[in-house]
Structure 1
Amino acid sequence: MTQAIKIYDTTLRDGTQGEGVSFTVAGKIRVAEKLDQFGIDYIEGGWPGSNPRDMAFFEEAQKLTLKHAKIAAFGSTRRASLRAEEDPQLQLLLDAKTPVVTIFGKTWLLHVVEILRTTAEENLKMIEDSVRFLTESGREVIYDAEHFFDGFCDNPEYALKTLEAAKRGGAINLTLCDTNGGKLVSEVQDIVSQVVAHFPGTAVGVHCHNDSGLGVAVSLAGVEAGAVLVQGTINGVGERNGNGNLTTIMPNLILKMGQELNCAPNLSKLRDLSLFVDEMANRASDNSAPFVGPAAFAHKGGVHADAAAKVKHSYEHIEPELVGNRTRVLVSDMSGRSSVMMKAKEIGVDLDARSPELKDFLAELKELEFRGYGYEAADASFKLLLNRFLKGKKDEFELIGYRVMVGHQTSLKRTVSEATVKVKIGDEVHHTVAEASGPVGALDDALRKAIAPAFPEIMEVELIDFKVRILDSQHGADAIIRVQIESTDGKEIWGTVGASDNIIEATWEALVDSVEYKILLESEKQA
């Protein structure tokens, strides 16, 4: 029977060393629960004693009832001047009360001599003593051989001796770390093969960084060479350029390499896991992330979209649903009839492919894109455009005019924006005014006040994102500006777009589409 590859997640420890990545204690607990539900084998929670947050996490983690995963505490070997039982850092690892402890030790003689300032022989004793102390204290010990590949290239005989020391101490796994992330695929594969051959019957793992853009590739190469444990992080977060990305490694292992993983039955929840971890880290998701990103199965060019419509796998390497994703069609000035048909179907608009208006609509779409509009992230505006152009659907209200004033009140040390909006709904004219700190908020409030009497549902809408992009900066202040807005009613999220050489006008267009789309949603529910 093939041995299942174990997945060791270090998002909550190594991942937090990445720039801009931070979790609250509650967030770390929620991520641990989510990783357990997904089927991750080991969850590294942090380094006890390094900071109060990690200590608090391990205290809270003791209350968790995990179904599958084992929590691991992370630390280093004893100091050169102390016995293992006297080392306070090793005692803190025991105090964390985790079933698994992962400790790292030095492989590269450069670090032993120049960083630790000790001898090669003492380093071997530090490794063996530390692993044995933790093992005899009832812990499963995973040994991380730091800078292993660099150390092996420098002195392979000594590098293997460090692993032998960890094995004598009782380590259940010898994980080889490409700490600097500088090794190529062929190097990692060759060295892992040699280690596996040197330690028959011993579980070997890999821990790879992404400094050369190869974190995933070298991790997979390690498995091909015989490693049975892979360490990495969700979404590849981590120090410098990040760690091996588990959201890419896991589907490749399962779908491309036929490896057995305990999390394989839950692979369809991979995108959900990816989004959840980003949310807990207060981090924007990578639109282009393999497998889980929104663009992973998006088709923009007309030829691609047409081919994908006929035979999906002609332009998709897997079925998106296997990882919880979906096929998306992007409409732009590159779109052809097939793209528009697919996109219309995706957003629930029935189109007749033989309709003569469709050709005119394509021409209009290309003209709008040329003028600065972009519909790739603005499905709501695209649907409204389709309804207006092909179905002759008119706007629910008519704009008579709007005005925005921005002033600074020196005595109060604040800037205030005031917006007035005048619209016509049926035979009635609604004229409203609103104040806010910024012009977007003032316009949004005034527009809602104006149309809420006729369409109360728009008061459920909330703006959750506002993006401004200058499209032709060489024109300076007269450049075309694209504004994209994301809105939600608590149930759905939609995007709208506006474009103009005036930022307020572009904003107004996106705001109007946002509320028009909410009105459309309500009318479709009632139909």
Structure 2
Amino acid sequence: MAADSSPRVWLYDTTLRDGAQREGIAFSIEDKIEIAHKLDALGIPFIEGGWPGANPKDVQFFWQLREEPLQQAEIVAFCSTRRPHKVAADDPMLQAILAAGTRWVTLFGKTWDLHVTEGLKTTLDENLAMIRDSIQYLRSQGRHVLYDAEHGFDGYKANPEYALQTLRAAQDAGADWLVLCDTNGGTLPQDIARIVREIVAELGRDLTAQIGIHAHNDSGTAVANSLAAVLEGAAMVQGTINGYGERCGNVDLCSVLPNLQIKLGYDCLPSDRLALLSTTSRAIAEIANLAPDDHAPFVGQSAFAHKGGIHVSAVERNPLTYEHVPPEAIGNQRRIVISEQAGISNIVAKARSFGIQLDKKDPACREILQTLKDLEHRGYQFEVADASFELLVRAALERRPERFQLMGFQVHCDMLRDEKTLLSDAIATIKVAVDGEHILESAEGNGPVSALDEALRKALVKFYPEIASFHLTDYKVRILDSTVGTEAVTRVLVESSDGARRWTTIGVSPNILSASYQAVVDGIEYGLLLQSSARSAASVG
């Protein structure tokens, strides 16, 4: 962790604006408020809220945030320079920025002469005046200004003399930051490093503003580009959580941050906040309604997953053998992956992660390992269904409570056609026994699995009220042998959540409903196990 004397790198999050430009993301105002508060809790010092002059939703966001203020972060409004041949004080967009009421404003302007002449259809001198007038006006209204030099690197490569003129105009007008943007995401790390170094040298003693970097990931080098810029003197990194953004996304702060703070020794967040990174990443993915990237560096569920038996044995002895940083430092955890390639070391280590202590000489280890291999041969895949594997282990050790028994179920589907679409309306009827009492329930759903899940939870909720908080968050079907047509074995993965945690369960059968039922039942049983464990821990505490 960075010491107090470590050099500072300021993090600037633009998930709420640049990140929202990703295809498939549509944040509501409530979503944006919730994300802003999570970023604030993480310790991000600058949070860009949006462009109030261009989006009515962003206007409301800034107003609503005044009623729910952040604890430590500066909320930033975003805007462009004034229009050509206009007066900054009369520009409606700049007036909307002032109305947002933020202390900090990010203003972007043109650095590439191509964009000035082809995009703005104006002269190079007028572009300099636009930058100068806009910043001077905002400064006269008491605002601090971050100047984003759009296409800063492409502009410098095309016409370095003019690119430097735009930066000097921004600085002379009073900008606090000069942020160099790789807007097209096509610049490689060695060119980023060279250009930042040259710009710092050219501005020399006249450099009163601080330098920042805003990288896009179109070449897959946004993290490397940002680190290269920092090593050449940039003191701010602008990016997004999970790398969300237009096209291929922005630089991922979840990768840049730990590299800067853990590996390079920069001071980015308070020392106690870095451990919130993984949960923040997953929470924002949830709000964005996007599945978390399990293989994301640092924060992904598989970032510290070990599958091979040799790897597991080595990590058990010394985590440094196969882990580049401690997973706990960024709020992640080590995972021992269970598959047909597993050995006894995997079984013991995985059981320990469940809070179950096994000895390698225990015959149960061999039994669990053989059961695992047999089931995976039939099509199960426990490396993606930890919850089902824990239930398997507990069953082998006779520690799996039998909370209910299935007496039978039926699913009826009606195919309805409206004017354009064929719809499936399903009704499931299920009979279960709990403590000798038989319960018969039915429920509707927008498909057979949804109806089955609803009917089962409806039957059990009287006995286990906590089930009311459980819901399906994902459902995946895989045909394991497509060559045999409708007789193929089906693998079903069901992801469930109680609003705070997620878990995945699996079912395999030639009958898709039977496979689905297995996965749904395991999901409910595992959720109840989690709730029971939480209550036990609370009572001990």
What is residue 462 of structure 1 aligned with on the other side?
470
Q: 1:375 aligns with which of 382, 397, 417?
A: 382
What is the alpha-carbon distance in structure 2 between the residues aligned to residue 63 and residue 398 of structure 1?
51
- Residue 288 of structure 1, aligned match among 290, 295, 309: 295
Question: Following TM superposition, by how much is the alpha carbon of 1:143 offset from its aligned partner in structure 2, in angstroms?
Answer: 0.9
**Other-structure match for 1:244:** 251
Q: How does 1:358-397 map to 2 (within 5 A)?
A: 358-391=365-398
Match among 260, 279, 291 for residue 267 of structure 2: 260
- Say whether 1:326 aligns with 2:320: no
Structure 1 residue identity aligned to 2:343: G
Say if 1:3 and 1:414 are closer, same or farther in 2 by CA, change over 3 A.
closer
Q: 2:521 aligns with which of 504, 512, 518?
A: 512
- Indicate whether 1:235 and 2:242 are aligned: yes
Q: Which runs of 5+ in 1 are unaligned?
A: none
CA-CA distance at 1:104 after TM superposition? 1.0
SS of corresponding position for 1:62: helix
RMSD: 2.8
Residue 214 of structure 2 corresponds to which residue in structure 1? Answer: 207
Q: Given residue 145 of structure 2, which amino acid in structure 1 is its aligned partner?
A: V
Contact map agreement 1:422 1:429 (CA 8 A) in 2: no
Per the TM alignment, residue 420 of structure 1 is displaced from its structure 2 partner at its CA by: 4.6
Contact 2:489 2:509 in 1 (8 A): yes
CA spacing shift, 1:198–1:513, aligned 2, 3 Å: same
- Distance verdict in 2 for CA 1:329–1:194, change over 3 Å: same
Q: How many Å separate the matches in 2 of 1:441 and 1:208?
A: 42
Helix, strand or coil for the counterpart of 1:181? coil
User: Normalization by structure 2: what TM-score?
Assistant: 0.89
C-alpha deviation, 1:457, in angstroms: 5.6
Q: Identify which range, 259-268 or 306-315, moves more after superposition.
A: 259-268
Q: 1: distance between equivalents of 2:373 and 2:297?
A: 29
Q: In structure 2, which of residues 44, 49, 54 is the aligned counterpart of residue 50 of structure 1? A: 54
The Cα of 1:280 is off from its aligned counterpart by 2.8
2:317 is equivalent to residue 310 of structure 1: yes
Unaligned runs of 5+ in 2: none
> 1:75: Cα distance to partner?
1.0
Aligned to 1:133: 137
Q: Could you say what secondary structure the match of 1:199 adopts?
A: helix
Secondary structure of residue in 1 paired with 2:383: coil
Deviation at 1:192, TM superposition (A): 0.4
Report if aligned partners of 2:429, 2:441 keep a CA contact under 8 Å in 1. Answer: yes
Moved more, 491-500 or 142-151: 491-500
Q: Distance in 2 between matches of 1:61 and 1:519?
A: 37
Q: Distance in 2 between matches of 1:513 and 1:303?
A: 30
| Contact 2:85-2:126 within 8 A present in 1 as well | no
Match of 1:194? 198
Give runs of aligned pairs for residues 3-22 of structure 1, distance below 5 A. 3-22=7-26
Q: Show the counterpart of 2:411.
A: 404
Using the alignment, how far apart are the partners of 2:283 and 2:167 within structure 1?
36
Among 476, 488, 500, which residue is 1:479 paired with? Answer: 488
Contact 2:22 2:246 in 1 (8 A): yes
Which letter does structure 1 place at the counterpart of 2:31?
Answer: G
- 1:322/1:145 CA distance change after superposition, 3 Å: same
**SS of the counterpart of 2:76?**
strand
Normalization by structure 1: what TM-score?
Answer: 0.91
3-state SS of 1:78 partner: coil
State the Cα distance separating 1:405 from its structure 2 match.
3.1
State the distance in 2 between where 1:160 and 1:211 align.
25
Change (3 A) 1:18 1:346: same
The CA distance in 1 between the partners of 2:116 and 2:96, in whole Å, is 23
Percent identical pairs in the alignment equals 48
Residue 115 of structure 1, CA deviation: 0.9
Instruction: Name the counterpart of 2:152.
Output: 148
